[in-house]
Amino acid sequence: MAVPKTKKPTTKKAVKKIVKKTVAKKIAKKPTAKKSTKTKVKKSAKPKRNKVICISHKEDCDGISSAAIIRQAFGGDAILVDYPGQMEALNQVVLDEKLKSLFICDLGLSKKTQDEFIDIMTTLRKNKVSVTYIDHHDIDPNVVKALDKIKVKVIHDTNECTAVLAYTAFKSKLNDHASFVAACAAITDYMESRPIGSKLLQIYDRQFALISATVLTYNIVGHQKEPDYLLYLVEELADSKFPHAIPNTFEFAQIQVEKLSQMITKVKQGMKTMKNLGHMEILDAGASGAVNFVMGLSGKDVGVAYKERIDHGIYAVSVRGSKDCKVHLGKIVNNLATSLGGSGGGHDKACGAVIPKPKIKKFLTELNKKIK
How far is the C-alpha of 305 from the C-alpha of 325, rounded, in Å? Answer: 17
pLDDT at 79: 98
Indicate whether 99 pLDDT > 60.
yes
Per-residue exposure over 106-140, b if at least 16 CB sit within 10 Å of its own CB, e if not = bbbbbbbbbeebbebbeebbeeebbbbbbbbbbbe
Q: How confident is the model at residue 130 (pLDDT cuts 50, 70, 90)?
A: very high
How far is the C-alpha of 144 from the C-alpha of 175, rounded, in Å? Answer: 30
Higher pLDDT, 214 or 28: 214
* Model pTM above 0.85: no
Tell me the average pLDDT of the chain: 88
3 state DSSP class of 307: strand
pLDDT at 42: 54
CA proximity to 68, closest of 237, 187, 213, 195? 237
Q: Given CA atoms 346, 351, 354, 358 in this order, what sign does their dihedral have?
A: positive
pLDDT at 40: 53
pLDDT at 16: 45
